[in-house]
Amino acid sequence: MKVFDAHCHLQDPRILSKVPQLIAKAQEVGVAAFAVNGVSENDWPLVNQLSQSYPSSIIPCFGLHPWFVQERTPNWFDTLKHMLDSTPSAAVGEIGLDKGSKGKQIDFTDQIQVFEQQLQLAKDLKRPASVHCVRAFGDLLAIMQRMGPFPTGVILHSYLGSAEMVPEFAKLGAYFSFSGFLMSVQQNKAKKMLKMVPSERILLETDAPDALPKSMSTSDSLFPVEGDSSSNSNAAETDASTLNHPENILIVLTYVASLLEMTKEEVAELSYQNAIRLFSYRDH
Binding-site entries for a divalent metal cation: 7, 9, 94, 132, 157, 207
Residue list for the binding site: 7, 9, 94, 132, 157, 207
CA atoms within 13 A on the CB side of 278: 34
Cα(18)–Cα(67) distance, integer angstroms: 25
CB contact set of 34 (below 8 Å; sequence gap of 6+) = 4, 5, 8, 10, 23, 26, 54, 57, 58, 59, 246
Instruction: Compute the distance between CA of residue 281 and CA of residue 278 in angstroms, rounded to an integer.
Output: 7
User: Which of 203, 91, 114, 242 has the alpha carbon at shortest distance from 194?
Assistant: 203
Q: How far apart are CA 179 and CA 207, in angstroms?
A: 7
The span from the CA of 84 to the CA of 93, in Å, is 11
